[in-house]
């Protein structure tokens, strides 16, 4: 305050930013952070450069179809994402299986197997399924059981595990190439977006211990029965509006800087937004470019967090060729296939989506080459596809779909707090303990909000407790 009773410009700026928060990025991490901060009474502005919310889990129109950019699933153990669905009133639109049941087709042997659970306690809940799993020999099944028990004894938080690869650990525990293909990579590639040899042992241990060796129903699979945009854009925007969040789309942040009073100035084209709290919920390379000096000790380590691609192949047939809602395949380049007919709005024929993780070798392949490879594979896996007319075939590519879960990545992933007061980080790539999943993204948003509210001495009782749910 000046001697004449008027406020200085710095004081005025400080009052303008007090109690205000800016969240940069409108993916699941940013939406979660914004909702959590707004629920605590902060004035929140959410800025997203795209014309929609949802990050890399979104939908778009292709003629009369509503298409997801890729098939996304979650597990019953994904408690934070389930909280998110509940928070945006979307739980009924993305139900979970009553019990884990994964049909697995062996293309080479033309044989169907199933990975199913019972209601028995862990690890007996999978014993019957493993004992009759036709894609492994009796000796391989016994070896898998021994490896699972050894995996249960690992601590995923042990930093020594982060530097080792899962493939070497499996080989050291007697797992054959067939066992890795038919079981370990069947699950691991879909959740980690990397084969066992390219995956951190710590992250792999976390996935298998949490999903298969914690609670009987932990690995039950859930997925959206509507387009992802209905959940992550339409319902999310409704929840943000109801919480009082100002959401600005097509708005790219160009810089973040300190103000004289210690607050933050967020620059977007045509506007300067002042805030007491800023959450950066954007990919690691974009975060690196926006970080002010001194926010992290070694900011260039963010650039060492590599990315991994996911390829999605979309096929529309003139008739029904798949009776099941989904299946996984081995002995084939096809990985997971989902029936998206009803969700897309298709009224005639059937629409299948193939989710191809760790697709380094094919992410840039021409559509014609992918068509030539995958249509015969679908006919090999699905006899009903013989003679069916392919009415549409198209591809969606996410070249940077996830961070790469390579050995040593754990030491590169920063936590929510930075060294700059009032500045926090969120994103599936931050130190959540999880691989790059929707669960990891939501957990990161909650962690960033918790850190921010703690610094502001604001109530945090309303926040989902990610530690308790771990």
What span, in angstroms and rounded, lies between the C-alpha atoms of 293 and 147? 46
pLDDT tier, 327 (very low <50, low <70, confident <90, very high otherwise): very high
- pLDDT tens, 414-436? 999 999 999 999 999 999 999 99
Q: How high is the pLDDT of residue 464?
A: 80
* Whole-number average pLDDT of the chain: 95
In the predicted structure, residue 350 carries a pLDDT above the cut 70: yes
Q: How high is the pLDDT of residue 5?
A: 53
- Please, what sign has the CA dihedral across residues 31, 157, 454, 7? negative
Indicate the pTM of the whole model.
Answer: 0.95
What span, in angstroms and rounded, lies between the C-alpha atoms of 250 and 46? 11
What span, in angstroms and rounded, lies between the C-alpha atoms of 281 and 432? 13
Q: How high is the pLDDT of residue 14?
A: 54
- pLDDT tens, 204-215? 999 999 999 999
Q: What is the DSSP letter of 299?
A: G
In the predicted structure, residue 238 carries a pLDDT above the cut 70: yes
Q: How high is the pLDDT of residue 467?
A: 62
What span, in angstroms and rounded, lies between the C-alpha atoms of 360 and 356? 10
Task: Give the bridge partners for 22, in sequence order.
Answer: 45, 278
Of the candidates 95, 400, 394, 121, which has an alpha carbon nearest to the alpha carbon of residue 223?
95
In the predicted structure, residue 16 carries a pLDDT above the cut 90: no
Percent above pLDDT 70 for the chain: 96
In the predicted structure, residue 10 carries a pLDDT above the cut 80: no
Q: What are φ and ψ of residue 358, in 5° steps? A: 50, 45
Q: What is the DSSP letter of 262?
A: S
What number is the average pLDDT over the span 256-265?
95
pLDDT tier, 72 (very low <50, low <70, confident <90, very high otherwise): very high
In the predicted structure, residue 462 carries a pLDDT above the cut 90: no
Q: How high is the pLDDT of residue 18?
A: 86
In the predicted structure, residue 15 carries a pLDDT above the cut 90: no
Q: How high is the pLDDT of residue 459?
A: 83
What number is the average pLDDT over the span 228-244?
98
- pLDDT tens, 159-176? 999 999 999 999 999 999
In the predicted structure, residue 269 carries a pLDDT above the cut 70: yes
């Amino acid at each position: 305050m000046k001697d004449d009773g008027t406020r200085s410009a710095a004081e005025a700026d400080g009052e303008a930013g007090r109690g205000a928060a800016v969240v940069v990025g409108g993916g699941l991490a940013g939406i979660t952070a914004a909702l959590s901060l707004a629920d605590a009474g902060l004035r929140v502005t959410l800025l997203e450069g795209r014309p929609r919310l949802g990050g890399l889990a979104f939908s778009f129109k292709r003629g009369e179809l509503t298409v997801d950019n890729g098939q996304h699933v979650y597990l019953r153990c994904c408690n934070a994402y389930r909280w998110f669905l509940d928070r945006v009133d979307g739980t009924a639109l993305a139900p979970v299986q009553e019990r884990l049941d994964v049909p697995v087709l062996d293309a080479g042997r033309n044989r169907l197997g199933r990975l199913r659970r019972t209601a028995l306690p862990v690890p007996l809940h999978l014993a019957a399924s493993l004992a009759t799993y036709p894609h492994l020999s009796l000796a391989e099944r016994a070896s898998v059981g021994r490896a699972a028990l050894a995996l249960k004894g690992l601590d995923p938080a042990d930093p020594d595990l982060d530097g080792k690869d899962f493939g070497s650990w499996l080989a050291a525990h007697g797992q054959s190439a067939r066992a890795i293909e038919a079981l370990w990579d069947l699950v691991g590639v879909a959740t980690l977006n990397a084969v066992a040899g390219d995956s951190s042992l710590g992250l792999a241990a976390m996935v298998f211990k949490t999903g298969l060796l914690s609670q009987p129903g932990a690995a039950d699979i859930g997925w959206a029965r509507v387009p992802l945009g209905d959940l992550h854009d339409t319902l999310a925007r409704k929840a943000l509006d109801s919480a009082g969040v100002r959401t600005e789309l097509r708005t790219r942040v160009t810089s973040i800087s300190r103000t004289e009073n210690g607050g933050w100035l967020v620059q977007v084209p045509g506007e300067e937004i002042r805030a007491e709290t800023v959450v950066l919920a954007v990919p690691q390379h974009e975060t690196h470019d926006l970080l002010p000096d001194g926010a992290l000790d070694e900011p260039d380590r963010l650039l060492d967090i590599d990315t991994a691609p996911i390829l999605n192949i979309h096929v529309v047939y003139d008739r029904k060729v798949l009776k099941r809602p989904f299946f996984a395949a081995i002995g084939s380049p096809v990985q997971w296939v989902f029936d998206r007919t009803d969700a897309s709005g298709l009224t005639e024929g059937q629409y299948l989506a193939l989710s191809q993780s760790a697709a380094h070798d094919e992410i840039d392949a021409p559509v014609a080459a992918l068509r030539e490879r995958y249509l015969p594979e679908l006919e090999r896996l699905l006899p009903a596809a013989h003679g069916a007319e392919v009415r549409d075939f198209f591809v969606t590519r996410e070249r940077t779909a996830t961070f790469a879960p390579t050995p040593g990545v754990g030491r590169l992933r920063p936590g929510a707090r930075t060294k700059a007061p009032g500045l926090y980080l969120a994103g599936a790539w931050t130190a959540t303990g999880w691989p790059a999943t929707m669960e990891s993204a939501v957990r990161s948003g909650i962690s960033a909000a918790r850190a921010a509210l703690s610094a502001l001495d604001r109530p945090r009782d309303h926040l989902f407790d990610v530690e308790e749910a771990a």
